């Protein structure tokens, strides 16, 4: 086996897995934070309770992805972070604000709880916006043309909308009564911006990067890759059909959330296909940016031990706290 060839591919797959799982798991709890001001006080406590057991552990996947990038692809890490230091700093600041607000709002008296709710919302929105900016800059290969920045702003607007839709569908599954009906309304409202943004970005991306255009719009790739956008569209349309019904909530409450998750997984797959084999589009391939084979072998042994534990813990935590959410309290 050619270890110098296959190890970077394996770590690219692990990096893609970590970031996809992070977007799904942390995406809905960031979305809950952004939706918080739209609910009543007692509903806000239930919303926070729906993410309370998970939100901190969800960020483990972000740490894993950052670690893989740093160790397995050091050259790409230097180039990417060299261009994204400022938004990364803003994201970490938003993360600190959000984490503090999450805990303090539970203990705060009524006079200060609204302040912490606003801080929680702003921290959640700040993380979503900076993640969108970083993704847009990455896809444009850190280009400096006006079109590159306009495209990045489009991605920046899309990520919070996607997280809001994901969160609303999560609340449909985890809550009941009036809050569940409100979540259905929020999901219906978020659906249209998400679909519009995804459609515009999907059409614009091939023209932002000529290599991506050739990857998707030349034969036979056009036919081979067509199922990805078609399945994504089918998932979103089916989710909308379910969200319009008021009589589905007893037995199908998880279906809208599952369909949105499937859409995000397909989008991640499409992005991976678009950029492969580059670690930085048009500048560094994964083999050019990879660490030495001995370093990758040792790292592979480490992640082979840690990643199964992370997966097992994630599955266990979601299983242990299954069912409808209740208010989050600390003793």
Q: Name the nearest CA neighbour of 29 among 74, 62, 78.
A: 62
What per-residue confidence (pLDDT) applies to 3? 82
User: pTM here?
Assistant: 0.93
Q: How far is it, in rounded angstroms, from Cα 309 to Cα 254?
A: 26
What per-residue confidence (pLDDT) applies to 330? 53
What per-residue confidence (pLDDT) applies to 76? 93
What per-residue confidence (pLDDT) applies to 209? 74
Query: Which DSSP string corresponds to 185-212?
Result: HHHHHHHHHHHHHHHHHHHHHHHH-HHH
What per-residue confidence (pLDDT) applies to 249? 57
User: Which tokens in the block code for residue 247?
Assistant: 């009589």
What per-residue confidence (pLDDT) applies to 250? 62
Q: How far is it, in rounded angstroms, from Cα 259 to Cα 189?
A: 17
What per-residue confidence (pLDDT) applies to 69? 92
Query: Which DSSP string corresponds to 105-124?
Result: HHH--HHHHHHHHHHHHHHH
Q: Using 50 as the pLDDT threshold, list the residues of the chain that sit under it.
A: none
What per-residue confidence (pLDDT) applies to 112? 75
């Amino acid at each position: 086996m050619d270890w110098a060839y296959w190890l970077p591919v394996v770590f690219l797959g692990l990096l893609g897995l970590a970031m996809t799982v992070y977007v799904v798991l942390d995406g809905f709890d960031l979305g809950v934070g952004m939706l918080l001001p739209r609910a009543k006080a007692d509903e806000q406590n239930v919303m926070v309770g729906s993410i309370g057991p998970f939100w901190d552990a969800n960020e483990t996947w972000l740490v894993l992805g950052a670690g893989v990038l740093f160790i397995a692809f050091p050259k790409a890490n230097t180039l990417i972070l060299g261009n994204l230091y400022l938004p990364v700093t803003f994201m970490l600041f938003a993360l600190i604000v959000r984490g503090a607000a999450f805990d303090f709002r539970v203990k705060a008296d009524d006079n200060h709880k609204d302040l912490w709710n606003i801080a929680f919302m702003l921290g959640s929105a700040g993380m979503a916006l900076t993640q969108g900016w970083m993704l847009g800059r990455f896809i444009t290969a850190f280009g400096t043309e006006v079109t590159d920045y306009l495209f990045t702003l489009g991605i920046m607007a899309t990520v919070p909308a996607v997280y809001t839709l994901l969160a609303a569908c999560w609340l449909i599954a985890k809550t009941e009564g009036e809050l569940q009906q409100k979540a259905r309304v929020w999901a219906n409202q978020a659906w249209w911006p998400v679909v519009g943004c995804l459609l515009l970005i999907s059409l614009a991306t091939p023209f932002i990067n000529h290599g991506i255009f050739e990857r998707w719009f030349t034969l036979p790739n056009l036919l081979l890759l067509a199922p990805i956008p078609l399945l994504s569209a089918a998932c979103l349309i089916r989710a909308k059909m379910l969200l319009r019904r008021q009589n589905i909530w007893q037995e199908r409450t998880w279906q809208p959330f599952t369909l949105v998750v499937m859409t995000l997984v397909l989008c991640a797959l499409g992005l991976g296909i678009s950029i492969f084999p580059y670690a930085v589009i048009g500048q560094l391939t994964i083999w050019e940016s990879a660490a030495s084979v001995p370093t990758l072998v040792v790292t592979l042994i480490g992640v082979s031990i840690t990643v199964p534990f992370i997966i097992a813990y994630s599955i266990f935590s979601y299983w242990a706290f299954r069912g409808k959410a209740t208010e989050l309290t600390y003793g």
